[in-house]
Amino acid sequence: MSQIHHTIDKLQITEQLHKAVSEQNTDYIQQLLQGLVAEEVAEILEATPPKERSQLWGLLPSDTQGEILGHTNDEVRANLLSHLDQHEIIQLTEALETDDIADIIQSLPDEEKSSLLAKLPEQNRRAVQTALSYPEDTAGGLMSTDFIAVRSDVTLEVVIRLLRKIGSLPKDMVDLIVRDRDGKYQGTLKLNELLVHDEETLVADLVDPKRFAIKALVPDKEVATIFEKNDLISIAVVDENNFVLGRITIDDVVDIIREEAERAQMASAGLDDEEDLFAPPLRSAKRRSFWLGINLLTAIFASIVIGFFEATIEQVVALAVLMPIIASMGGIAGTQTATIVIRAIATGKLGAKNSHKLILKETAVGSFNGLLWAILTSVVTWFWFQDSALGIIFGAAMLINLVAAAFAGALIPLFLNKIKVDPALASGLMLTTVTDSLGFFVFLGLATIVFTI
Amino acid sequence: MSQIHHTIDKLQITEQLHKAVSEQNTDYIQQLLQGLVAEEVAEILEATPPKERSQLWGLLPSDTQGEILGHTNDEVRANLLSHLDQHEIIQLTEALETDDIADIIQSLPDEEKSSLLAKLPEQNRRAVQTALSYPEDTAGGLMSTDFIAVRSDVTLEVVIRLLRKIGSLPKDMVDLIVRDRDGKYQGTLKLNELLVHDEETLVADLVDPKRFAIKALVPDKEVATIFEKNDLISIAVVDENNFVLGRITIDDVVDIIREEAERAQMASAGLDDEEDLFAPPLRSAKRRSFWLGINLLTAIFASIVIGFFEATIEQVVALAVLMPIIASMGGIAGTQTATIVIRAIATGKLGAKNSHKLILKETAVGSFNGLLWAILTSVVTWFWFQDSALGIIFGAAMLINLVAAAFAGALIPLFLNKIKVDPALASGLMLTTVTDSLGFFVFLGLATIVFTI
């Protein structure tokens, strides 16, 4: 490999692979796969429709399949595993770290889990069982049991001898875990301390007690925050009694951060981020219909509001022409505020005191924009329909709806967060219910007063 | 500090700080700040309204202010810097790494940049100038010049002597950069190799040539991808001639990943992620009004479509009551598809071949859901308005709009990506233009044919 990194054009390789698969050009497929790391192959599999996906999977070198599976999303992994028998799955896991084996076992149907576990080699089984005993989204579920620990009452000479015996250290290891005589966590010892100090020095004199460990049940989102805040590379995981269970490294944390961001983005449209891009259409349709159903109810609610004013619309049909503009502008203004507030909540920035100020600020923003667009649109309406009263009603409704949208856009996510519902998930639908219904009500209500009373 | 990490409840501390600031309780403020790292203080500053923010800033120990500034967003940083004179800014930068100094200088007004640069100590100035000579969003703009390099033709003994002389190594350093006699990049040497090999061994025999370097002009998003794909902790940055300029560490990359995800989320509502949460309302309103203006144009377009059918609405006013439901359902169904496609594009998964399949799949999903909701809503409409024709028209319009929404939801992001416009930014507005206008057109058009001809 060249020493300068040339970015791989994954898209181009994906397309060439798809072509090679359809032409059954095995040699070319192997050649294309050679330059790729496991995560890239996993992404290419996710980007491949089901039929071609199984063909491609069958052509992957079997010693790479395990690591690749560790990088695919849940649905694609379960799908690929469903085509394998137990013997093949055991083979897959042979070269894997125990946390990756646990991921694979978790993707299997319940009845296969325990029978597969029983077939694992003794030393792996224990570690995998430990990993499985913690929920997937906690420090315990994330950790690898692949760490090196030394006792604090030995000299550096002993430690260096141990390292020489081990030969190659686990990837990304910048420090050793230090335990006391009872096996409890004490701190860490940086590898470079071994280089710069005398061999007679005791580990205890160099251990960094400020490097804390985390409990196995800490949620993964919090693990990510701890890494980010403290610029960590790895951290030890301990049980309730401070015994060391394993360690988490930054590469797992990077995945969590990426996934968490994707989850929030997908949730705002009522979608699951672990879904297969090429899932069968009927299955996808079923999953998405729940969200459409909820939206239908909110849309019907807005229609009922319009229904109150049928008589007015019959008289002034221009109202029907104009009313979607009010609703649409309210929706956008409210979404802008809600997006800001949802992000501030997600980053832990909104407490009782400053959220009041934020609501005030956002409502002020809504008022400024309300005023601007009220004036502009009322003039446009006046000329469009040659009706000054209609123009003034439209402007007034626009102003009221934009102020209300900003207020609701700030309030709804804060309220949802208070009642422990994910604001990213439900804010959008609740907000448009308010901006649509209120927009229609104010506009048609004002028109009813002016034109029919 | 305890060796087990207790998660800091940042929100609680933020609130206590705000209270302490309003009570001018300096001692308590100092006490609260003690347990926090720079990034946490930066987030608290971002979460603090302007007046209290400057008070709090004034109370921060001056030797921590520089690092804290490195973690705030652009607008908050520029705002805080605007209250400082040059002497104070120079003081701030004293304890900082050169890439952080470059960030601060970049936040200053142009006329202050060069005069400040001239006042930096000689050795820093060079490094900062190098960092400033690359755009902020490239490897060169990200890198720190804080690295240790050794020549490949020396023995480990020489390297170990060098490290002992340096004493403490830069944070997160797991390997040394190896250069040839001309100073060109050759590869890396893992620290632990120094422990497990004989002191007479030559660096050249242990250098890992597979550890590539990246060119200074590689965009930061690509740097993040390279780190993720190869599970890197750090990477060397080189110029066009392969001379080593600096190195990038994983903690900077984690920030990029987080920021990139936030940028996409904010962009979908036409917002800038570097905006101050507590920016003056008039300034925020001005920024957001552009997006509202574009939306107004698309909403007016939909209204013009409705306008064609004024006569029909006058005759059957129930159409005005029902039409927003069709538009709303189309908007949601289209957004679901668009969200999936935007994400697939962002992760580099959609090429010419599989995007055709994805469009097909999504249109199939739209058809299934269209059928389901068409049947359901036509029955509801039939009973609600006691009008079988209206029910059938409504169902037909629903079906057509949901299929079209899925098709447009897949096509629009792909098209935008092709013409090099960020799909996350513009897809939403374009999509609702289609689903609103088409929904109104089909529903009112069908009604016109059935009821008035």
pLDDT at A1: 34
- Reduce the secondary structure of B3-51 to three states and give it as a string: CECCCCCHHHHHHHHHHHHHCCCHHHHHHHHHCCCHHHHHHHHHCCCHH
β-bridge pairing B234-238 and B214-215: parallel
Query: Is residue B386 classed exposed, middle or buried when 0-12, 13-18 and 19+ CB atoms within 10 A define those classes?
Result: exposed
- Find residue A215's DSSP bridge partners: A238
Q: Is B178 within 8 Å of B187 (Cβ atoms)?
A: yes
> What's the mean pLDDT in B392-408?
97
Rounded to an integer, what distance in angstroms lies between the CA atom of residue A105 and that of residue A93?
A: 10
Cβ distance A19 to B353 less than 8 Å, yes or no, reads yes
Residue B243, CA distances (Å) to B138, B216, B239, B246 in order: 17, 10, 5, 9
Cβ distance B257 to A253 less than 8 Å, yes or no, reads no
pLDDT at B408: 97
Q: Which residues of A touch B372 (CB under 8 A)?
A: 285, 289
Tokens of B232: 């890197």
Q: State percent of chain B over pLDDT 70.
A: 97
**ipTM confidence:** 0.84
Choose the CATH number for B149-267 among 3.50.50.60, 3.10.580.10, 3.30.1300.10, 1.10.3720.10: 3.10.580.10
pLDDT at A86: 83
pLDDT at B1: 34
- Find residue A178's DSSP bridge partners: A150, A187
Got the DSSP string for B312-363? HHHH-THHHHHHHHHHHHHHHHHHHHHHHHHHHHHTT---HHHHHHHHHHHH
Tokens of B177: 């950069």
Q: Write the residue in B47, B292, B332 that is nearest to A329 by C-beta.
A: B292
Q: Which residues of A touch B193 (CB under 8 A)?
A: none
Cβ distance A43 to B349 less than 8 Å, yes or no, reads yes
**Mean pLDDT across chain B:** 87
pLDDT at B2: 37
pLDDT at A306: 95
Q: Which residues of A touch B206 (CB under 8 A)?
A: none
Rounded to an integer, what distance in angstroms lies between the CA atom of residue A342 and that of residue A424?
A: 6
Q: Write the residue in A187, A277, A357 that is nearest to B3 by C-beta.
A: A187
Q: Which residues of A touch B264 (CB under 8 A)?
A: 261, 265
Could you report the per-residue pLDDT of B183-232, keeping only the tens digit for each? Answer: 899 999 888 788 888 889 999 998 887 788 999 999 998 899 888 888 88
pLDDT at A265: 82
Q: Which residues of B touch A367 (CB under 8 A)?
A: 281
**In sequence order, what are the residues at sequence separation of 6 or more whose Cβ sits closer than 8 angstroms to the Cβ of residue B153?**
B180, B181, B202, B203, B204
pLDDT at B5: 47
Cβ distance A258 to B48 less than 8 Å, yes or no, reads no
Q: How many CB atoms lie within 10 A of CB A386?
A: 9
Q: pLDDT under 70 in chain A at which residues?
A: 1-9, 171-172
Whether B438 has a pLDDT exceeding 80, the answer reads yes
Phi, psi of A233 (to 5 degrees): -105, -35
Rounded to an integer, what distance in angstroms lies between the CA atom of residue A53 and that of residue A180?
A: 50
Whether B131 has a pLDDT exceeding 50, the answer reads yes
Rounded to an integer, what distance in angstroms lies between the CA atom of residue A358 and that of residue A407?
A: 10
- Find residue A213's DSSP bridge partners: B4
Q: Which residues of A touch B398 (CB under 8 A)?
A: none
CATH of domain B10-133: 1.25.60.10
> What's the mean pLDDT in B138-164?
88
**Residue in chain B nearest A322 by alpha carbon:** B303
- Closest CA–CA distance from residue B112 to any residue of chain A (Å): 31
Q: Write the residue in B310, B321, B351 that is nearest to A306 by C-beta.
A: B321
| Least-confidence region, from A80-89, A127-136, B6-15, B319-328 | B6-15
Q: Which residues of B touch A323 (CB under 8 A)?
A: 320, 324
Could you report the per-residue pLDDT of A146-171, keeping only the tens digit for each? Answer: 788 999 999 999 998 888 888 777 76
**Residue in chain B nearest A53 by alpha carbon:** B354
pLDDT at B261: 80
Whether B3 has a pLDDT exceeding 60, the answer reads no
Q: Is A222 within 8 Å of A235 (Cβ atoms)?
A: no
- Closest CA–CA distance from residue B134 to any residue of chain A (Å): 18
Cβ distance B350 to A11 less than 8 Å, yes or no, reads yes
Q: Which residues of B touch A46 (CB under 8 A)?
A: 349
Rounded to an integer, what distance in angstroms lies between the CA atom of residue B306 and that of residue B311?
A: 10
Domain ranges within chain A, ordered by starting residue: 10-134, 149-267, 281-452
Cβ distance A5 to B192 less than 8 Å, yes or no, reads no
**Residue in chain B nearest A291 by alpha carbon:** B332
**The domain made up of A10-134 is a member of CATH 1.25.60.10:** yes
pLDDT band at B51 (very low <50, low <70, confident <90, very high): confident
> What's the mean pLDDT in B293-312?
94
**Residue in chain A nearest B157 by alpha carbon:** A195
Residue with tokens 């890494």: A227
Nearest 10 degrees: Cα torsion B441, B442, B443, B448: 80
> Can you name the CATH fold of B281-452?
Tetracycline Repressor; domain 2 (1.10.357)
Cβ distance B7 to A164 less than 8 Å, yes or no, reads no
Residue A330 one-letter amino acid? G
Q: Write the residue in B48, B213, B233 that is nearest to A233 by C-beta.
A: B233
Rounded to an integer, what distance in angstroms lies between the CA atom of residue A23 and that of residue A137?
A: 41
Could you report the per-residue pLDDT of B77-86, keeping only the tens digit for each? Answer: 988 888 888 8
Q: How many Cα neighbours within 13 Å face the side chain of A214? A: 27
Residue A193, CA distances (Å) to B164, B195, B237 in order: 9, 11, 26
Rounded to an integer, what distance in angstroms lies between the CA atom of residue B159 and that of residue A430?
A: 63
pLDDT at B167: 74
